[in-house]
Structure 1
Amino acid sequence: MFGTADRVTGSGTSTRSAIVWIGGLAVAGLVIWLLHDELLLVFLAVLLAVSLRGASDVVAKHSPLSPRWAMAMIMILVLVATIGFWMWVGPELVRQGQDLVNALTNEVGQLASRYGQTQWGQTLIQKIKGSESVAARSLAAPAMTVASSAIGAIAGLFVLIVTMIYFAGNPGLYLKGLVTLLPKERRARTHDVFDKVGHVLRWWFVGQLIDMAVVGVLTVVGLALIGMPMPLALGMLAAILTFVPYFGAILAAIPALAIALGQGLHMTILTAVVFAICHVVEGYVVSPLVQDRMVRLPPALLILSMTFIGSLFGPMGVIMATPMAAAGLVLVSEFYVVDVLKDESGRDVTARK
């Protein structure tokens, strides 16, 4: 009789625990859905903070500076480099950017006049006109809405910078506060796992910066050598879009190929070759040289994460999908594969082999 009562009591406890877990997951999902823009902003701040802190720790290790002074020096150098770069190439970049917009507009008009008489061309033009009418109605919003959006963007940038600085200045304080919410026996383990997450995010960011620099320089040089107009603007666009794996490379080539079409078939082929060479060099030469410290993520996982997260959270979700997938892969492998399934092969799942 007592054994039956114990089983009933145990079953009731398990049911209550399951209900609590389901309720907690539901509440967490609702919070993420309602505050996804703010949470993505916080995640971006964390990504930048761990990268800045990692760089400052390296500088402090090889200099008499403390990590905080090293971080201040790095931020000053980044600011000076940004201002210097903008003063050096800013006017030319703005001019080429304006020329790029004008060239794309003219090219769209030429393509419309050239293929507008075909059946598929007329269908495409009708769809574009329908989209333009919807966009025109959307742009007819009151000026106050536009002003509030601009103010919101500025406020978001300010929050991002301040949060990043505070996170990078004393990461241990915030990590300690987070793990304090957990039972004592889980705190040390959780601290170690989040250290691994920070390590993965840091080296993912370093890898992306290297890829962006390589693609940008190669694109500018390649387009200039073949005589393509506006190589600097197109190269900067290619470098920025490289931050988004796979899709960014495709998006970067579209405006360049659109302009090359107006220059003739020969220029179009040369432009396609330049972009192909840039990404082959980045993928098969540069990445293997640094892959020992970079993050190993399956390509299918990257594409699916960008698709799903982008569908849920919009363009910002696409941009942040890859580092979120890297962090999620570490958390799942450590907390579930290692701790729950007791499979030690789940450790360091993102490390290069």
Structure 2
Amino acid sequence: MSTNCDPVAHSTRFIRRATGVAVFGVLLVAGWYLRDLLLLVFAATLFACLLVSVSQFIAHLSRLPLGIAFGLSCLMTLLIAIGFFWLLGSQLRTQMMELWEQLPELLKPIENALNIGSVEEWLGDQLETMLSQTSVMSRIAGLSSAAFGFLANLVLVIVAGFYLALQPDLYVRGIVKLFPQSKRPAVENTLADIGGSLRYWLIGQSLAMLVVAGLTYIGLALIGVPSALALAVIAGLLEFIPFFGPILAAVPAVALGLGQGPHVAAYVAILYLAIQQLEGNLITPVIQQQSVSLPPALTLFAILAAGILFGWLGILLATPLAVALMVLVREVWVAPISTARHDAPEASLNISLRSGKSRFLD
């Protein structure tokens, strides 16, 4: 009798498949309930990628061992943060406080034009909701302060990112061992490609944020808009979120410009528009030419989907999540199809596997 008709073998295969489906379903449900924590783990991974990239850069230039270069990268990151807040912290804090105090006056024209209630109260409610939704630590410890929980999450991301960057191979090997022996080389290569793509993207995005912040500060200072440093920092930070971030950054700047006259507001709007055109068409393509190139429509839908599913934290991490998912789809789905049909030129997908970049994504 054929093995395919053996009732015992058939039952065994059915039980294995049913068990696999059940385990997969349990993991999906657990992942949904732990989605905020998983997003924080991903944020810590991004920070670890940044530390590893800086360490590799220092090791390449100085020919130092990678361990010493890692220590220098952590020390350099700490000194840069301390130096920034020491040199500009007082001025930045003063301008942020002035901007916050002027917020009600800046929002009144919007309230009058739209005939709505207090936008300031709505923004405050949204901010509190955002902090509480992304505050895993406050839920665990039962903390009443959403802001304290947000700071605790930030510390958690930094500390976890440090440990991930200290021994990345340890965690990679742990993930690889979860898969069958025959699949482990492919899983390891996929994780390496995802890590490389995230490093390239993160370095490019960080440089773009610095350039945008610098250009914004110079332009606002030349125009004579108050709180130029605070507005420039806001523009640089919100540059991390494509499409929506630059719009949100321009709102307080244009509102402050309106306080000095319509012509100043027009100059500010033109400045922000020019910087975004320069960033989108020149700065980012040049800086991120070695990373995965995400189509604009895909990036937009990724932000909307992440916002609906995961809230504010999902919006913040939507683009790097999309980068990781695109590399995963390419390695798990597109690349095997391309390899299987290598002998059929008409079916070729024209995919380049160099350094995590694919023409399929361009």
TM-score range, shorter chain: 0.7 to 0.9
Q: Are 1:302 and 2:299 an aligned pair?
A: yes
My pick for the range that moved more, 287-296 or 221-230, is 287-296
- What does residue 239 of structure 1 align with? 236
Q: 2:157 aligns with which of 152, 156, 160?
A: 160
In 2, distance between residues paired with 1:5 and 1:285? 60
- What does residue 267 of structure 2 align with? 270
User: Residue 224 of structure 2 aligns to a residue in which SS?
Assistant: coil
User: Residue 229 of structure 1 aligns to a residue in which SS?
Assistant: coil
In 2, distance between residues paired with 1:134 and 1:63? 50
- What does residue 55 of structure 2 align with? 56
1:81 Cα deviation after fit: 1.6
Task: Tell me the amino acid that sits aligned with residue 243 of structure 1.
Answer: F
- What does residue 199 of structure 1 align with? 196
- What does residue 276 of structure 2 align with? 279
Task: Tell me the amino acid that sits aligned with residue 39 of structure 1.
Answer: L
In 2, distance between residues paired with 1:275 and 1:172? 42
Gap change, CA 1:323 and 1:111, over 3 Å in 2 = closer
In 2, distance between residues paired with 1:128 and 1:64? 55
Gap change, CA 1:129 and 1:298, over 3 Å in 2 = closer
User: Residue 290 of structure 2 aligns to a residue in which SS?
Assistant: coil
Task: Tell me the amino acid that sits aligned with residue 6 of structure 1.
Answer: C
Gap change, CA 1:183 and 1:145, over 3 Å in 2 = closer
- What does residue 29 of structure 2 align with? 30
Count, aligned residues: 339
Provide, for residues 193-228 of structure 1, a one-character-per-residue CA deviation record: whole Å limited to 9, x for no partner.
Answer: 110000000011011111101110111111111111
Normalising by the residue count of structure 2, what TM-score does the alignment of the two structures yield?
0.84
My pick for the range that moved more, 336-345 or 94-103, is 336-345
Matches within 5 A, 1:124-143: 124-125=116-117
Matches within 5 A, 1:199-238: 199-238=196-235
Q: Are 1:259 and 2:242 an aligned pair?
A: no
User: Residue 160 of structure 2 aligns to a residue in which SS?
Assistant: helix
In 1, distance between residues paired with 2:254 and 2:15? 60
In 2, distance between residues paired with 1:76 and 1:3? 67
User: Residue 244 of structure 1 aligns to a residue in which SS?
Assistant: coil
1:293–1:351 CA contact under 8 A, matched in 2: no
Q: 2:321 aligns with which of 321, 324, 347?
A: 324
Cα root mean square deviation, aligned: 3.0
Of all paired residues, the percent bearing the same amino acid is 33
Task: Tell me the amino acid that sits aligned with residue 182 of structure 2.
Answer: E
1:220–1:231 CA contact under 8 A, matched in 2: yes
In 2, distance between residues paired with 1:47 and 1:67? 19
- What does residue 249 of structure 1 align with? 246
Gap change, CA 1:110 and 1:154, over 3 Å in 2 = closer
In 1, distance between residues paired with 2:66 and 2:158? 18
User: Residue 65 of structure 1 aligns to a residue in which SS?
Assistant: coil
Task: Tell me the amino acid that sits aligned with residue 206 of structure 2.
Answer: L
1:149 Cα deviation after fit: 3.8
1:152 Cα deviation after fit: 3.4
The answer for unaligned runs of 5 or more in structure 1 is: none
User: Residue 181 of structure 1 aligns to a residue in which SS?
Assistant: coil
2:49–2:199 CA contact under 8 A, matched in 1: yes
1:51 Cα deviation after fit: 2.2
User: Residue 295 of structure 1 aligns to a residue in which SS?
Assistant: coil
My pick for the range that moved more, 13-22 or 23-32, is 13-22
Task: Tell me the amino acid that sits aligned with residue 106 of structure 2.
Answer: E
1:317 Cα deviation after fit: 0.7
1:326–1:350 CA contact under 8 A, matched in 2: no
1:329–1:350 CA contact under 8 A, matched in 2: no
1:104–1:258 CA contact under 8 A, matched in 2: no
Normalising by the residue count of structure 1, what TM-score does the alignment of the two structures yield?
0.86
Matches within 5 A, 1:74-113: 74-109=73-108, 112=111
Provide, for residues 158-212 of structure 1, a one-character-per-residue CA deviation record: whole Å limited to 9, x for no partner.
Answer: 3322221221111111111111121111111111111000000001101111110
- What does residue 42 of structure 1 align with? 41
In 1, distance between residues paired with 2:84 and 2:3? 76
1:58 Cα deviation after fit: 2.4
In 1, distance between residues paired with 2:304 and 2:16? 33
In 2, distance between residues paired with 1:5 and 1:186? 25
In 2, distance between residues paired with 1:347 and 1:20? 37
